[in-house]
């Protein structure tokens, strides 16, 4: 049995591409008005709770200031992002991926559990071989269940075309400017996860390969590996 289902791998790479386009085009959109507010309205920079930098052209899409084109890129990438998020949740619940690999236990949230997971992950140990470790479960759960849906719903809320169809969503989020601020925070939260995800993946390059090939679960590992693990455990406890 593959460690990563084909549906997970396809979503992973399509979603990664969509988020890169969304983030870079979003930086271009941010340059149009670099001040964030809470509530329904916000125009005066003096009333902003945060004023961000003007992002350089090389970090934006397109790589020069063009609000109309940036919005076109943003909307284009939003479709595979939104549809893909609904698809992966349906797939994870249907094939048991969420219950089997992502659901956490109380011990996963303890400092000892987090430290042990980081050590095992960096060493490529048994924890990595048998599935997601505690840190991965926590991070993936926060992203899949929190940041990605938040970015989707706040993006819909501030979309003029969607506001007429579901005005309740904007009210639920505390107003247009509050939704815009939350959208900005969610985007940078995902960027932070992306950096952590990349560092952890580079620390154990086999994880990147598994997300391409699918890998295989420990139950299908070779006999040499299966016999080596108990022996290692015996040495640790002997």
- C-alpha distances (whole Å) from 119 to each of 112, 114, 127 are 11, 9, 9
Range with the lowest mean pLDDT among 43-52, 80-89, 165-174, 203-212?
Answer: 203-212
Model confidence at 123, pLDDT cuts 50, 70, 90, reads: low
The pLDDT value recorded for residue 135 is: 81
Q: Which residue has the higher pLDDT, 136 or 121?
A: 136
State what percent of residues in the chain have pLDDT above 90: 54
Domain made up of 6-237: CATH architecture: Up-down Bundle (1.20)
Domain boundaries, the chain: 6-237
Residue 235 pLDDT > 80 = no
Per DSSP, 165 falls in state: T
Strand partners, 50: 36
Whether 229 shows a pLDDT value over 80: the answer reads no
Question: In the structure encoding, which two tokens stand for residue 74, read together?
Answer: 């943003």
Mapped onto helix, strand or coil, the DSSP state of residue 36 is strand
Contact of 101 with 127, CB cutoff 8 Å = no
In this prediction, residue 89 carries a pLDDT of 94
Q: Encoding tokens for residue 82?
A: 């939104």
Cβ atoms 74, 29 nearer than 8 A: yes
Mean pLDDT of the chain: 84
């Amino acid at each position: 049995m593959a460690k990563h289902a084909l549906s997970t791998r396809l979503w992973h790479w399509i979603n990664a591409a969509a988020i890169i386009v969304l983030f870079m085009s979003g930086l271009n959109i941010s340059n149009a008005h670099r001040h964030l507010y809470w509530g329904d309205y916000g125009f005066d920079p003096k009333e902003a709770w945060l004023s961000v930098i003007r992002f350089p052209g090389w970090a934006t899409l397109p790589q020069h200031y063009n609000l109309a084109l940036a919005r076109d890129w943003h909307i284009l990438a939003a479709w595979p992002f939104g549809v893909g998020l609904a698809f992966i949740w349906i797939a994870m619940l249907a094939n048991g991926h969420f219950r089997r690999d992502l659901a956490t236990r109380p011990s996963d949230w303890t400092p000892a559990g987090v430290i042990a997971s980081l050590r095992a992950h960096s060493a490529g140990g048994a924890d990595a071989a048998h599935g997601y470790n505690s840190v991965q479960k926590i991070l993936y759960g926060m992203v899949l269940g929190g940041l990605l849906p938040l970015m989707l719903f706040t993006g819909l809320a501030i979309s003029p075309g969607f506001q007429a169809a579901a005005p309740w969503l904007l009210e639920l989020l505390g107003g247009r400017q509050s939704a815009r601020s939350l959208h900005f925070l969610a985007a940078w939260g995902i960027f932070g996860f992306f950096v952590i995800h990349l560092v952890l993946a580079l620390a154990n390059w086999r994880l990147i390969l598994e997300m391409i090939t699918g890998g295989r679960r420990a139950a299908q590992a070779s006999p040499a590996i299966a016999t080596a693990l108990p022996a290692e455990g015996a040495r640790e406890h002997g």
